[in-house]
Amino acid sequence: MSEIEDRLASMGLRLPPPFEVPSGLSLPFQFVQVHGTRVLISGHGPQGEDGQMTGPFGKLGSELSVSEGYQAARLVALSILASLKRSIGDLDRVQQWHRVFGMVNSAPGFIQQPQVINGFSDLILAVYGAERGAHTRSAVGMAELPFNIPVEIEGELSLHP
C-alpha cells in the first residue's frame, strides 16, 4: 500500500469503487486526463463507499448546513483520489497539487462557500502534507449542480517526472 493510502487508512477512510453511472446517463468525458506530468481532474461529486452518488442532497444555506457541506466536500476528495489512483496507479506519484475549483450548490444569500470547500482542502493537506498538498483554490456558489449534489470539485496537479 502507498504512503498516501496508509495515511487514509490510519484516518479510517477508504477510497470508493468506480462511480456507478445512473441508468440512462452518458458521461462522454474522462474523469482524469494525464498529459506527461500534468493531470487534469474533471468535476466530481460526493460518492459513497458503494460507488453511488451519495447525499445529503440539496442547497447549502437552506436545506443543508455548512457542516454537511464540509463532509460532502471530504467525500468528493475521496472520490477524486479514487479516480486518480485508477488513472495513475499509485497516489504517491503526485508531486504537487496545483489548482482546485470548488462549486457549492448555494441558496440565495449563502456566502460560506470557502468553509464548505475546506472539507476537500483539509483532507488533501492531511494526506499529502503542507508542501505537496498546498494548492490554489476557488470556492464559488452555483444556482444548481447536477442531481442536486451539494458540492462539485475539479482540479489540477503534477506527477513526479
pLDDT confidence of residue 65: 98
Contacts with 90 (C-beta within 8 Å, 6 or more apart), sequence order: 2
What is the rounded CA–CA span in Å between residue 39 and residue 98? 10
Phi/psi of residue 104, nearest 5 degrees: -120, 125
What is 29-152's CATH topology?
Answer: 60s Ribosomal Protein L30; Chain: A; (3.30.1330)
- Name the CA dihedral angle for 153, 3, 94, 120, rounded to a multiple of 10 degrees: 20
Q: Which phi and psi angles does 152 have, rounded to 5°?
A: -135, 135
User: What is residue 20's predicted lDDT score, i.e. its pLDDT?
Assistant: 82
The 10s digit of each residue's pLDDT in 8-63 is 999 999 999 998 888 888 889 999 999 999 999 999 999 999 999 999 999 999 99
Return mean pLDDT, the chain: 96
pLDDT at 41: 98
Q: Give dist(CA 42, CA 60) in Å, integer.
A: 22
β-pair partners for 158:
38, 96
Please report how the helices 3-10 and 66-88 are oriented relative to each other, as an axis angle in degrees rounded to 10.
150
* pLDDT computed for residue 79 by the predictor: 98
Q: Cell for 73?
A: 466536500
pLDDT digits (tens, 9 = 90+) for 84-127: 999 999 999 999 999 999 999 999 999 999 999 999 999 999 99
